[in-house]
Amino acid sequence: MSAVGMTDALRRLEVMLLIRAYEEKLVEFQRGGAPGTCTSVGQEACAVGVVGALESRDRILTNHRSAGHLIARGADPGRLMAEVLGRVDGYCGGRSGSLHISAKELGVVLTSTIVGGELSMAPGVALAQKMGQGEPGGITAVFFGDGAACEGIFHEALNLAVQWQLPLLFVCENNDWQAFVHRRETMPDNAIADWAAGHGLPVVTVDGNDVEAVHAAAREAVAAIRADGRPHFLELVTYRLRGHFEPDDQAYVDADELARWQARDPLQGIADRLLAQGTLDAAGLAQLRDRVAARIEAAAHFAQASAWPDPRTLTHHVYVEQGARP
Amino acid sequence: MSRMTTEQAIHQALAEEMQRDERVLLVGEGVATKRGDLVRNFGTARVRNTPLAEAIIAGTAVGAAASGLRPVIDLLFAPFLTYAMDALVNSAGKLRYLSGGQFEFPLVAMSMTGSGWCVGAQHNHNLEAMFAHAPGLKVVMPSTVADFKGLLKAAIRDDNPVLFFTDLALLHQEGEVPDVADHLVPLGQAAVRRVGADVTLVSYAKTVGVCLQAAEQLQAQGIAAEVIDLRTLKPLDEATVLRSLRKTGRLVAVTEASGLCGMAAELAALAVTRAFDALRAPVVRLTGPDAPGASSWVLEQAALPTAEAVVEAVQGMLGDAVVVREALATT
Ligand SMILES: Cc1ncc(C[n+]2csc(CCOP(=O)(O)OP(=O)(O)O)c2C)c(N)n1
Ligand SMILES: [Mg+2]
């Protein structure tokens, strides 16, 4: 099985494997004393399904749990790791660390770890597109969690996007957890879809652990936004398989619930399906895993070899130097 | 005395005050998950997990405080306070005054901040001076384990809204806490951590330790530094600072927070407006830069005032005096 002969479905599987391997490496780094991270283990299908439905002219806003969105968009795992380690070759020169990684060159803009921050800025990004900034026909996708839907800014963003008819795709990764609080303590069961619908925009709820279902729904929503210029809403039902922020022993997590979702691991799901279809055989899967593992090892070496930022640059980038641009 | 960590001292203070006064309740994202024993002892009505929504957590606390309860809210990291700022600044800080004194807002808003964790500026931002600037609010930022306990208990008993800041780096430090039944540290009283006659080092929270280290190094050079821990930023204990300045004539104000319009500026203003005649050298401020907190370890460290910088500043101020003393010592 060569890369040329790969189907889209196989490519999606490979990216999901890459995200998983990347985050497992970050966990290893953390155990060795590096800063902790919010991993998206268990939510890879959400990132890969949606980001794969976007084009390069589209913009993405994300949050603290961003690795999947970045890697699915083509971010270099080596530069991501360098950022997490605070090194100069990271996407933000080490200033961000893991929690606010933006990569303008990839169209991943304005990442905020203030929950709801991404929701507050997304309408403005979409407004600029609507008003002719950037490539014509671009739309904005904003990723956020079920917790963010509890912030007042969630409703403010939805209302404004509907009133101003903004080309904006809201993507809620509903993973049942809001740091150390379960979603059942914070809202009625189907609240997110109902709240969104109440603002008058089309809402689709999808199994967020089924990458093909997510991808199909995202393609439809993106096509609709390009056609009618109005916001759409995707709720992806998924689960956070690891803790909130490494390290986290998940002592507060119901073991049965966790086991149920572990049995629905999105990577296993798509791999099993492709194996059953005959699109992939065991050797092919092993080959994919090896290729991903080699990329992650190379990325780790790159990141660890990257220099620390020069302390004399501490106050660079706080303000724009007036007159510096022509 | 009992030995414990800051985290344990905070927990004890909460438990004791909840035991003492049934109007005290604890509210925030994950407080019930984190403090299971308080849920068991005081029930789910008084220890409440909340939706992820700082504006309504703070707003609810303000309304409840005006109506007979004494809420303690945990807003996790200080930068998240900006979502809660409307309720704290516009409501809690102003509605007593604007109502002609009809209401009281006995509430405590806790949050953590400070560098050392490589989490970046959306978790690490020392914005305590912003709240000191807002009328009607008190601001506390302790450094010792005993003070964390005593000041939190006093804050909960205070009838005004109090912002209670915890420097993350101090959370796991160990210290002695008095075993008395009610260990209270009154708001508005600074502590003299070390006595000295040559220079006054004033700070609060984690940088008190920096000043103490500097004082130790200065001692070896024959310079006696007095170290003052403000403990409460507002109300500011002006008398303790002025008393020290009248003795030493020299002030170095040290904060991790950035300098412009910060506590160090306030201390400098206090010195020149109220002790100008006593000053023997220009006031020195050592503060964080006017830059958001970076995540990278080396940049985070580069932003911090160090003991070496304090020593250097003091040597600069005392330059001539030190030379004279050394000359006297050799004759
Ligand atoms: C305004 C704000 N409040 C609290 C936090 C701390 N915090 C970070 S992530 C998180 C949970 C977010 O839950 P959700 O939106 O569902 O996203 P998830 O972490 O599940 O991906 C919390 C409480 C924060 N970063 N910002
Ligand atoms: Mg969540």
Mean pLDDT, chain B, rounded, equals: 96
Return the residue in B49, B50, B83, B298 with the most chain A beta carbons within 10 A, the one to mutate for interface testing: B298
pLDDT averaged over every residue in chain A: 96
Q: How far is the CA of B35 from the centre of ligand 2 (A)?
A: 21
B116–A contact, CB cutoff 8 A: no
pLDDT at A3 over 90: no
The shortest C-alpha distance from B307 to chain A (Å) reads 18
Residue B49 Cβ < 6 Å to ligand 1: no
Name the CATH architecture for the domain at A8-306: 3-Layer(aba) Sandwich (3.40)
Ranges of residues in chain B with a pLDDT under 70 are: 320-331
| Residue B296 C-alpha, separation from nearest chain A C-alpha, in angstroms | 4
> Which residues of chain A neighbour B51 with C-beta distances below 8 Å?
147, 150, 178, 185-187
> Residue A274 and residue B325: Cα distance in Å, rounded?
84
What is the Cα–Cα distance from A30 to A15, expressed in whole angstroms? 23
How many A from CA of B74 to the centre of ligand 1?
14
Tell me the whole-structure pTM to 2 decimals. Answer: 0.96
Contact B290 A95 (CB under 8 A): no
In degrees and rounded to multiples of 5, residue A216 shows phi and psi of: -60, -45
Interchain CB contact of B303 with A (< 8 Å): yes
pLDDT band with cut points at 50, 70 and 90 for residue A321: confident
Report how far residue A147's alpha carbon sits from residue A187's, in angstroms, rounded to the nearest whole number: 10
Answer whether B306 touches A (CB < 8 Å): no
Question: Residue A311 and residue B298: Cβ atoms within 8 Å?
Answer: yes
Q: How far, in Å, is the centroid of ligand 2 from the Cα of A179?
A: 7
Ligand 2 geometric centre to CA of A100 (Å): 17
Atom of ligand 1 nearest to the CA of B29: 23
pLDDT of residue B325: 61
Q: Rounded CA gap, A136 and A132, in Å?
A: 7
pLDDT given for residue B331 in this prediction: 52
Q: pLDDT digit string (tens) for A247-301?
A: 999 999 999 999 999 999 999 999 999 999 999 999 999 999 999 999 999 999 9
Nearest CA to ligand 1 atom 5: A115
pLDDT of residue B319: 82
Q: What's the confidence (pLDDT) of residue A2?
A: 47
| A189–chain B Cβ distance below 8 A for any pair | no
What does the pLDDT average to over A219-244? Answer: 98
User: Looking at residue B56, what is its pLDDT?
Assistant: 98
- Cα dihedral A237, A241, A245, A248 sign: positive
Residue A322: pLDDT band with limits 50, 70, 90 = confident
Beta strand A168-174 with A140-145: parallel, antiparallel or unpaired?
parallel
Cis omega (within 30 of 0) for bond into A77: no
Region of residue A232 (left: phi > 0; alpha: psi -120 to 50; beta: else): beta
CB contact, 8 Å: B30 with chain A?
A: yes
**ipTM for the assembly:** 0.94
Ligand 1 pocket member B50 (CB < 6 A) = no
Tens digit of each residue's pLDDT (9 = 90 or more) over A43-95: 999 999 999 999 999 999 999 999 999 999 999 999 999 999 999 999 999 99
Task: Provide the 3-class DSSP secondary structure of residue B108.
Answer: strand
Q: What is the pLDDT of residue B181?
A: 86
| CB of B74 closer than 6 angstroms to any ligand 1 atom | no
Radius of gyration of chain B measured on its C-alpha atoms: 21
Pairing verdict, β B47-49 and A177-178? unpaired
> What domains can you pick out in chain B, each with its CATH number?
2-177 (3.40.50.970), 191-330 (3.40.50.920)
User: Which pair of structure tokens corresponds to residue A303?
Assistant: 């990141």
